[in-house]
Chains A and B, each alone.
Chain A
């Protein structure tokens, strides 16, 4: 069974440029998460989807970040415009839609903003 797939693995951009990350969760997992991981810190939730509905986006900086999961399967996270402080690893995870389910993570997308 394929795991959570993310792309690109690495991205280097100039500040003020846009960037997008894509995630395909494990088949059958209704819940999808985007996490931000800064160096030396644990993942911090940006947004959580139940199917196509964003049920928790309270930590998403909506002035520059957006996300979508139009058909309730794969998802895209966009930053426009990127700032130096956005350099981090963006992790996607999925789980079955129960509270007891563990998260399955992708390998992450490492963003460097110059």
Chain B
């Protein structure tokens, strides 16, 4: 069975500082990996995905994520945080041979001015 762990319920950073939101996964075979963001009372919005190729993927709003196969991790990063980045972030994994995505429980990011 596949699973996703987001070990931090909450991440707090100051505006302008770099941010990292952690994600580790467990899946049989090669994974497809995704990050989504959820603002209050809204649905999830796609940020970026890793399918194959370069381990560093870039996405919307200046976010990027690094796929590390040996550590089974896919951490979300941004060089300089904005207050408007404050939201709930979800990591998801999907095996390459199935259509089901499994989500982590989310990490609340708070960026303070």
- Which residues of A approach B to under 8 Å, CB–CB? 4, 31, 40-45, 48, 50, 55-56, 91, 93, 99-100, 102-108, 110
Contacts and interface: CB of A to CB of B under 8 A. Distances in A.
B103 A105 contact: no
A42 B103 contact: yes
A42 B99 contact: no
Instruction: Give the interface centre of B42, B43, B90, B92 by most chain A CB atoms within 10 Å.
Output: B43
Given A100-B32, A100-B51, A40 B46 contact: no
Nearest to A59: B100
B34 interface: yes
Given A42-B104, A99-B98, A105-B45, 5 more contacts: A42-B105, A100-B49, A100-B51, A104-B46, A106-B43
Contacts of B94: 99
Nearest to B90: A42
Interface in B2-41: 4, 32, 34, 36, 41
User: Which 4 interchain pairs have the tightest Cβ spacing?
Assistant: A42-B103, A105-B43, A102-B46, A105-B44
Interface of B: 4, 32, 34, 36, 41-46, 49, 51, 90, 92, 94, 96-106
Contacts of B90: 42-43
14 contacts: A40-B106, A42-B106, A43-B103, A45-B102, A56-B100, A93-B43, A99-B32, A99-B97, A100-B51, A102-B34, A102-B46, A105-B44, A107-B42, A110-B41
A62 B76 CA distance: 37
Instruction: Give the interface centre of A4, A44, A45, A110 by most chain B CB atoms within 10 Å.
Output: A45
Nearest to B50: A100
A64 B44 CA distance: 26
Nearest to A108: B43
Nearest to B96: A99
Given A40-B105, A42-B90, A100-B32, A91 B44 contact: yes
